[in-house]
A and B are shown apart, each in its own frame.
Chain A
Amino acid sequence: AQSVTQPDIHITVSEGASLELRCNYSYGATPYLFWYVQSPGQGLQLLLKYFSGDTLVQGIKGFEAEFKRSQSSFNLRKPSVHWSDAAEYFCAMFSGGYNKLIFGAGTRLAVHP
């Protein structure tokens, strides 16, 4: 079955600390992968995407993600978190079979000052 799993429901980090949010996918071919961020009262905003090529993808707001085929993962990273990064983060995969985005359940990030 095609699915996206975000193992961490809630993560808390201190401001200035590094961040890694995990995402695992299940798909029979090379997937198209995305990370979105959702701030309270806001719509989802695309942080970055991976279609092919370089497995390390740079996005907006200082985020990056690395596609690892051997681990079926697409983890999101940021070297130094800012208080404004507190939000919910969604990993998503485009399913060619269903012609739609499949989202993970999300990881809620809290940032301590």
Chain B
Amino acid sequence: EAGVVQSPRYKIIEKKQPVAFWCNPISGHNTLYWYLQNLGQGPELLIRYENEEAVDDSQLPKDRFSAERLKGVDSTLKIQPAELGDSAVYLCASSFSGGRLVDEQFFGPGTRLTVL
């Protein structure tokens, strides 16, 4: 079974440039999560989707960050414009939520973003 796929794995950009990350969850998983992991820290939730609906985006900085999951499968997270402080690892995770909130989340390898 294929795991959560993320691309690119690494991205280096200059500040003020846009950047996008892509995530393809495990087949059949209806819940998708984007996390931010700063160096030396644990992941922090940015946004959670149930199918195509963003049910929790309270931690997403909406002035520069946006996300979409148009068909309820793969998802894109965008930053525009990027700032130096956005340098971090962006993790995607998915789970099958059968009506429960606590379901095992499967994580992708992440995208390491460096903003110069």
B63 at the interface (CB under 8 A from A): no
**Would B102 and A44 count as touching, CB distance under 8 A?**
no
Residues of B within 8 A of A (CB): 3-4, 9, 40-45, 48, 56, 91, 93, 101-102, 104-110
By a CB distance below 8 angstroms, the chain A residues around B45 are 100-101
Q: Are B40's CB and A106's CB within 8 A?
A: yes
A-B contact count (CB 8 A): 52
Contact of B42 among A49, A99, A106 (CB under 8 A): A106
Chain A residues positioned under 8 Å from B108 (CB to CB): 43
- In angstroms, Cα B89 to Cα A106, docked, is 15
A27 located at the interface, meaning its Cβ lies under 8 Å from any Cβ of chain B in the complex: no
Q: Is A62 on the interface with B (CB-CB < 8 A)?
A: no
Find out whether the CB atom of A43 lies under 8 angstroms from the CB atom of B107. Answer: yes
Q: Assess the A100–B3 pair: CB atoms within 8 A.
A: no
A41 touches B109 (CB 8 A): yes
A-B contact pairs, 18 of them (CB 8 A): A4-B42, A42-B109, A43-B93, A43-B106, A43-B107, A43-B110, A44-B91, A46-B105, A46-B106, A90-B43, A92-B42, A96-B101, A99-B56, A100-B48, A103-B41, A103-B43, A103-B44, A106-B41
